[in-house]
Amino acid sequence: MLRVVSWNINGIRSPLQGMVYEEPSNCAAMAVGRILDKLDADIVCLQETKVTRDVLREPLAIIEGYNSYFSFSRNRSGYSGVATFCKDSATPMAAEEGLSGLFATHDGDVGCYGNMDEFTQEELRALDSEGRALLTQHKIRTWEGKEKTLTLINVYCPHADAGKPERLSFKMRFYRLLQIRAEALLAAGSHVIILGDLNTAHRPIDHWDAVNVECFEEDPGRKWMDGLLSNLGCQAGSPIRPFIDSYRCFQPKQEGAFTCWSAVSGARRLNYGSRLDYVLGDRTLVIDTFQDSFRLPEVMGSDHCPVGAVLSVSSVPAKQCPPLCTRFLPEFAGTQLKILRFLVHLKQDPVFKQSTLRLSKQTRIQMHRNKARVHSTRPRPSKAGPSRSQKNLTSYFQPSSNCPKASPISELRSVVALMTPKIPEEEVMTKVVEGPASASEAKDEKEVRTSFWKSVLGGPLPMPLCGGHREPCVMRTVKKPGPNLGRHFYTCARPQGPPTDPSSRCNFFLWSRPS
């Protein structure tokens, strides 16, 4: 059996924060290894890794028992990126970054690009510069003993922002390039699996609120998926398309089978999300070899959950990893010198070591001589001269000439007497009588001061209660560009869910202060 898993991990370094700084060589590798072991797959495809090559470290890239392949964003740091981890028993025979072939090295590449004349070179480079696609090609063996070629396309498709219409055009051009490459591989005789985050909920059953989405069926991304995927339940005479949604092949009517939820609104608690992650296989491969297609909603750590499939084939590992493998990168292969290399204590030959010891001994003798010379030239105080000892407090008070010399204890008593003011007996009695009254006034004054500062520094006001549940709200901040950017508002603290569910968030909204 061959088990493949895809997961939008929303940052491959996020589970490792707080550990990599203690023992970077061990903890990071253990954390990534635990993720791979938990997914328990022969091939793991990760999306939205959010690492670029300059911040990729060896513990993240090289895991014992696996060979890994990364595609990085070339435009922005901490953005996009995909990675594929293959067990050594499923080592690919070829690997390639991108869909267009512009980043191909012609050594160990997958090939089969199709006709891309409708794209300009600048457009192809822009589509592949965000690190959104990674191909690995494997040799598989069926139960009949036949060896075939299987190409996995690990993709993180662009998101279409409503406020940026140019991103919708970018997304559709990426879809078009992906389809051309996949169909070219099929035409060359390879089986193809497209897996990853496609960033489109295909059918109304794949979206939590499709009824209220305007022109849901007319979305360009859904129309593209309609043209790519076959419906196994369609009537005779319907067009046969090249790929099949493997999950809907096994679970055609499963509702609530979502893979992505809003982390801000806590929508995962009530399963209020959408299905954006897919394992798409070519028709022949799905019908003949797919045994199961599944979701893993219990796996936490991202706003997406993993998806995967099980095939009734075995992998035939390549004898050597393709050149794109991260262990061949200069910074990990040992061909690129690190600064630590120049700080290593090198072995010295005996002659050089003896001369160094002799030189250091002479240096120490010279230092002792210099120190002795400095001590000899430093002026010393004369013994006959007056000593500069610390003066006593009583030395600042001149005793009376007609008084006999007193002892030190009596001198101290006289100093204390001089420094202590005399209080008349009547004044003492008045303070004893008025003591309680003055203490009461001081207490009232303290309370007035306390109430004043509490009014000035009273802290935040109590949270208002939402209208639906009469529960304290939470404060949010507007992050969308516009006139309200940065303003605070209050909303219901409960997780987002269906409007018919009374335990979900109500529609309460209140600005924190007037604009």
Distance, CA of 141 to CA of 314 (rounded, Å): 5
Helix (H, G, I), strand (E, B) or coil at 472: strand
- Of residues 109, 197, 277, 282, which has the active-site annotation? 197
C-alpha distances (whole Å) from 95 to each of 109, 224, 322 are: 5, 27, 6
159 is catalytic: no
Distance, CA of 225 to CA of 13 (rounded, Å): 32
Distance, CA of 141 to CA of 191 (rounded, Å): 12
Classify 160 in phi/psi space as left (phi over 0), alpha (psi -120 to 50) or beta. Answer: beta
Task: Please name the amino acid found at residue 470.
Answer: R
- Of residues 42, 282, 304, 490, which has the active-site annotation? 304
The total of other beta-carbon atoms located within 10 Å of residue 218's CB is: 8
Inter-axis angle of helices 165-187 and 121-128, nearest 10: 90
Distance, CA of 280 to CA of 212 (rounded, Å): 27
- Of residues 156, 175, 278, 490, which has the active-site annotation? 156
Q: According to the annotation, is 206 in a ligand binding site? A: no
40 is catalytic: no
197 is catalytic: yes
Q: According to the annotation, is 303 in a ligand binding site? A: yes
Do residues 184 and 131 touch, judged by C-beta distance below 8 A? no
Q: Tell me whether strands 474-477 and 314-316 are parallel, antiparallel or unpaired.
A: unpaired
Q: Which one, of 74, 70, 75, 11, lies nearest residue 45 by Cα?
A: 70
Q: Return the ∠ at Cα 409 (arms to 406 and 412), rounded to 5°.
A: 95
Distance, CA of 162 to CA of 175 (rounded, Å): 18
Task: Please name the amino acid found at residue 408.
Answer: P
Phi/psi of residue 42, nearest 5 degrees:
-75, -35
Catalytic sites, residue numbers: 156, 197, 304
Q: Per the annotation, where are the binding residues for Mg(2+)? A: 8, 48, 197, 199, 303-304
Q: Per the annotation, where are the binding residues? A: 8, 48, 197, 199, 303-304
